[in-house]
A and B are shown apart, each in its own frame.
Chain A
Amino acid sequence: MPVQLVAPDWSLLVPPLIVLGTILVLLAADLVLPRERQAGLTVVALLGLALALTSLASIDWSAKGVTFGGMYRADSFSLFISLVALIAGVLSVMVSAGYVEAGIEPGGMALAEYLSLLLFSVLGTMLVGAAGDLLMIFLGIEMSSLAVYTLTAFARRRLTSIEGALKYFLLGAFATAIFLYGIAWVYGLTGSIMLDDIAAALRGSVRGDAPVEASLLLALLLLAVGLGFKVAAVPFHMWTPDAYQGAPTPVSAYMSVVPKVAGFAAMARVLVQGLNPLSQQWLTLITVLAFITMVYGNVVAIAQRDVKRMLGYSSIGHTGYMLAALAAFTSLQPGDRSVGSLLFYLFAYAFMNIGAFGVVAWLQERGQGVNLEDFQGLAARSPLAAFAMSVFMLSLMGMPPLIGFYAKYYVILALIEAGLLWLAVAIVVMSAVSAFFYLRVVTVMYFTEPAGAWQPARTRMLGAGLAVMALGNLALGLFSGPVLDLAQRWALAFA
């Protein structure tokens, strides 16, 4: 059979190519600029990301363009994942700016290296969102994760940083292997790695109520476990608290969001698009995972004194809410809200969680620690920082009118429409539980007196980033209509 070479449609790849170009510029700059003179590179990275964001508008996403023989899909789902990844990238870069320059961490890496790794991870996440086959998903996830493993070990003279990175890496590599094994099984059973072909093949073999072949279930289980590690679902969450606590704070901010976006994008692509005919089977699995994940994350977070660790466990709780959104899947009809609410949650989560870690970084820049005690009297010392942190905490808790409330509301709506009332009740009960530990931060900031001395800080970028995120939490909830509409178009991409 003659091999046909078809020129790929490069115009669909403009946004990821811009990110790649920015990475190359950063790496080249690292060669010529000494470490002390790299401060301007933050602006370069931000410009690159902004350019990629604007280039999203140049593509007609509703045309569902496909290139590279179906590996790369430019549909409305890719659009939303790219949007979230790029925005989270911008916010993370803003949060990182001062931290890396100020040399808070001993033996930290150069800014150019840091930024290029961060952008590599953003690029990987964009590719997962746009993946048309399992191999592309695998490559995207690896690109996204490997960069983050390295970033976690950023503070190479601090043991907790190394420990976190090692745990993250070993468990991540393990999960990758499981995922890859799952891909092999799926390929063996269906004869394809293309998501649409897999769905078509399964539609032929899976019949109504007849029991499903055990080998298919095994493949499903392997894929789900591999992705469960990536999104930190219980019981595959063991790495999360240590990695979040050990990593430098801006990296924790980043890795609490973007790799999770990649993981959930992969879940949606694999389960909802590829293994759609097996939905009865995986819905049970995801529902159970969602429940235990949200309960475990929120309950264990109560006992934490270290704010980063607390946010780590709380992010496990949020994974539970997002899995619940996925569990609300019923069909690929445009009215189904499940994946739409998941996408909106990821969008909202970027603003809430990067912001919360950002305030921790803000305190560290001023010579404070990361424990609850370090937040004492913040309201008296810096009313704006305390206000921003309260916004993030209350948003994570799900207080209206902040964006976290809208995200949770849409998930609850999806669940009730799907008839999963008990899971909706579980979400609100867990929100009440989460109020304990989120509120504790607010209480400490507002109801206690400040103690200890502060060091002056150098950069304004972090403050600007926090302001953007606080305003985003306030405004994007009230005017969530357009974003929600965009997220709701996911069904068009998969159908």
Chain B
Amino acid sequence: MDQIPILSLITYAPLAGAVILFLLPRATERAARWVALLGSGVSFALSLAMLAAFDRSATGMQFTEFIDWLPGLGIAYRLGVDGISAPLVVLTTLLSLISVLASWDPIRRRVREYYISLLLLETGMLGVFVSLDLFLFYIFWEVMLIPMALIIGIWGSANRVYAAVKFFLYTLAGSLLMLVGIVAVYQAYFEQTGVRTLDVLELAQGTYGQAFQMWAFAAFFLAFAIKIPMWPFHTWLPDAHVEAPTAGSVILAGILLKMGGYGFLRFNLPLFPDATRAWAPFIIVLSLIAIIYGALVALVQPDLKKLVAYSSVSHMGFVTLGIFALNAQGLYGAMIVMISHGLVTGALFLLVGILYERAHTREISAFGGLHRSMPVAAAFWGLFAFASLGLPGLSGFVGEFLAILGGFRVYRWAGVIAMFVVILAAWYMLWMLQRIVMMRAPGEPPDPDDPELRLAAVHGVPPAAGGAGPRGQAVDPRTFPDLNWKEFATLAPLAVLTVWIGVYPGYLMRILRPAIEQALAAFGRIGL
């Protein structure tokens, strides 16, 4: 190897941190936090260096690493990134670092174990994005499940064990069928060429029969559809998101969901182009159902975290819509929605966590008037809520617009329906924002200057308060302290990136371009 194995370093820096913590059973909580910060920090710094050195004009994989592992079975340690995976790697390291920071104060129980899980999880996630060998990919894919389930099950809220087990079993069931699909592709390629390999790039060169493609596509699809999650495979998501601790939700929404979309792009499209074409209309319909369903259910949630969780289902619908539109706009849109959703939803979960730390409840009705007690937090709430609903100038708009455009070019009706649902997104986000930030806090006397009050008096109805009123022991939101510097530090980078991608998506799109063109080559639709 003539170059530094930077992808391995990025992937295993967190693992090194986890091993250090594992070997130091007497480490203090403070030391554990610093080791975790160091592990994920090193990984983040290296991933930035990787992105800086990334050749944006080159097609194909970069920073490739190869070590023979089980040669008789065509299994090797193959790593590499292209324009699709490189941004996701950086997103992963960034959100992991933020998660370490965000857990600094809230996690007070079994701190060392918590950070071991978090670091192992980070290694698993990074491994998924950089593996170019199906076997290696599968290992990382499964390894990730255990620490995530532990994080939900040990450090989650009331119903955590149920949520953790459900998450684990659901995802496991999906990925096991993928394992059969992996071996079947390997065998089909061997029968065709006489070469035993699990190299994704090489397997994509093979041509497989239509019938084989159809079911092998389905085997991979199920694993990714559960992960992303598409309707009707989404039922694990609200439970897992709601019960997970804040950092767990951030990582679930920010990165784990992206693996589904990444899996479609990396495996389903290149390996089974004919089946992709055949399945696409069906998946587009599922995507539309997910978009509408997620938005409608988010609308009626009384729980902040549930609301954000269901909005994720809706957003991931845009991702699958964009991917299976199978044109350049759609793929750019899908990728940008994924990255934007990682930033924005991650930030929204952080904000929910910040409120939960203060109020010990996530009921929307318990909050109100945050613009007065927590002006900085309220500003972040506003920014990220607008980004989530797709306000032009923020990252959410770029991705959703492109994804809808891509869908519109192929299936007019799909584009039109998806466009109307954006209104629903505005509805649930703004309504939530109104209730927790703008309206009076529960128990707060009405402001005599409030125009709403006058309106209410004219129509003879009682003035609306921020929600249904205090529930006994709920903490008064008027007494909440504003963000401390740690909380600010976790949110600020996400805000900057959200604005940057919204204003100037060109940087990101240039990174994506060669990979997306390559992905589309099999479908004969190149260029915008």
Contacts and interface: CB of A to CB of B under 8 A. Distances in A.
B138 interface: yes
Contact of B161 (A380, A413, A443): A443
B143 A429 contact: no
A91 interface: no
B interface majority secondary structure: helix
B460 interface: no
B48 interface: no
B72 A447 contact: no
A432 B160 contact: no
B203 to A, nearest CB: 15
A403 interface: no
Given A394-B146, A401-B143, A446-B150, A432 B72 contact: no
A424 B185 CA distance: 14
Interface residues of A, number: 32
Given A439-B169, A447-B161, A428 B154 contact: no
Interface in A386-415: 390, 394, 399-401, 405, 409, 412-413
Interface residues of B, number: 34
Interface string B24-59: 010000000000000000000000000000000000
B138 A432 contact: no
A435 B143 CA distance: 14
Contacts of A159: none
A416 B187 contact: yes
Interface stretch (A104-112, A149-157, A478-486): A478-486
A383 interface: yes
A488 interface: yes
Contact of A425 (B73, B161, B165, B177): B177
A417 B186 CA distance: 10
Contacts of B176: 428-429, 431-432
Contact of A432 (B113, B135, B165, B169): B169
A495 to B, nearest CB: 19
B153 A383 contact: no
A421 interface: yes
B165 A428 contact: no
B363 interface: no
Contacts of A446: 150, 153-154
A409 B70 CA distance: 13
Interface string B85-111: 000000000000000000000000010
A405 B69 CA distance: 16
Contacts of A429: 176
A163 B143 CA distance: 42
A236 interface: no
Given A394-B146, A435-B172, A485-B72, A443 B165 contact: yes
B13 interface: no
A412 B135 CA distance: 13
A436 interface: yes
B169 A435 contact: yes
Q: Which of A429, A447, A484, A488 has the most CB of B within 10 A?
A: A447
Given A399-B146, A439-B165, A383 B25 contact: yes
Contacts of B180: 412, 416, 421, 424-425, 428
Contacts of B113: 379, 383
Contacts of A417: 187
B503 interface: no
Interface string B185-221: 0110000000000000000000000000000000000
B323 to A, nearest CB: 26
A474 to B, nearest CB: 11
B455 interface: no
Nearest to B191: A417
Contacts of B169: 432, 435-436, 439
A447 B153 contact: yes
A413 B173 contact: no
Given A409-B179, A429-B176, A443-B153, A400 B161 contact: no
Contacts of B173: 432
A417 B69 CA distance: 21
A425 B183 CA distance: 11
A432 B223 CA distance: 13
B468 interface: no
A400 B110 CA distance: 26
A399 B73 CA distance: 19
A18 B142 CA distance: 43
Nearest to A400: B139
Given A412-B183, A421-B180, A439-B165, A400 B138 contact: yes
Contacts of B183: 409, 412-413, 416, 424
Contacts of B25: 383
A447 B164 contact: yes
B168 interface: yes
Contacts of B142: 399-400, 405
B161 A412 contact: no
B184 interface: yes
A439 B25 CA distance: 25
A447 B187 contact: no
A275 to B, nearest CB: 28
Contacts of A405: 139, 142
A428 B177 contact: yes
Interface centre among B73, B143, B173, B180 (most CB of A within 10 A): B180
Interface string A420-451: 01001100110110011001000100110000
Interface in B106-123: 110, 113
Interface in B142-181: 142-143, 145-146, 150, 153-154, 160-161, 164-165, 168-169, 172-173, 176-177, 179-180
14 contacts: A383-B25, A394-B146, A399-B146, A400-B138, A401-B139, A405-B139, A405-B142, A409-B135, A413-B183, A416-B184, A447-B154, A447-B160, A481-B71, A488-B72
Given A424-B183, A435-B172, A443-B164, 15 more contacts: A379-B113, A380-B110, A399-B146, A401-B139, A409-B179, A412-B179, A413-B187, A416-B180, A421-B180, A424-B180, A439-B168, A443-B153, A443-B161, A446-B153, A481-B72
Interface of A: 379-380, 383, 390, 394, 399-401, 405, 409, 412-413, 416-417, 421, 424-425, 428-429, 431-432, 435-436, 439, 443, 446-447, 480-481, 484-485, 488
In order of increasing CB-CB distance, the 9 nearest A-B pairs are A400-B139, A428-B176, A432-B173, A447-B161, A400-B142, A447-B153, A416-B183, A416-B187, A401-B139
